[in-house]
Chain A
Amino acid sequence: MYEIFSHPELRRYKTSIFSKATLLMLAILILTFIPPLLIVYRSYGFWLREATYREQPRVAFKKEFILILDLQNGQNPVVYSTFQHYNQLVQSYLRIPVVKAREEDINGDGKYDSLSLDIDVPMNAADQVVGVKLVLFFYYKLRRFSQFHMESLGYIDYSSSVPGGSLQVFSDLRLRQKQLLGYRGTDTRYNNTLVDPASPYAETYSLASIFKAYSSRNVTTLLQDPMKIWSAGRAGDSPFRVSVLVNYPEEVISYTPGFWYLIKWGWVQYVSVLLIFLYIFNKVKVFVFQHQVVATVVETPITSSLGRKDKFS
Chain B
Amino acid sequence: MQATGLIPARFLTIIAHLVLVIVILWTRDENIKMSLAEEYSQSEFDQKNTEFIVALSITLGLFAVELIGFVGGVTMFMSFQGLLSTAAHSAAAIALSYFLFDQWPCEWYWYIFGFCSALPAITEAVYIIGILCFRKGF
Give A residues with C-beta under 8 Å from B. 20, 24, 27, 287-288, 290-294
Contact = CB atoms under 8 A, between A and B. Distances in A.
Interface stretch (B1-9, B27-35, B55-63, B106-114): B1-9
Q: Is the interface on chain B under 10, 10 to 19, 20 to 34, or 35 or more residues?
A: 10 to 19
Interface in B108-133: none
B80 A287 contact: no
Nearest to B1: A291
Nearest to A20: B80
A288 B83 contact: yes
Contacts of A27: 87
Given A287-B3, A290-B1, 20 more contacts: A20-B80, A24-B83, A27-B87, A287-B5, A288-B3, A288-B83, A291-B1, A291-B2, A291-B3, A291-B6, A291-B79, A292-B3, A292-B79, A293-B3, A293-B6, A293-B79, A293-B80, A293-B82, A293-B83, A294-B80
Contacts, number: 23
Interface string B79-101: 11011000100000000000000
A295 to B, nearest CB: 9
Nearest to B78: A293
A276 to B, nearest CB: 14
A294 to B, nearest CB: 6
5 contacts: A20-B80, A287-B5, A292-B3, A293-B3, A293-B83
A172 B1 CA distance: 78
A287 B1 CA distance: 11
A291 B5 CA distance: 10
A130 B3 CA distance: 94
Nearest to B98: A42
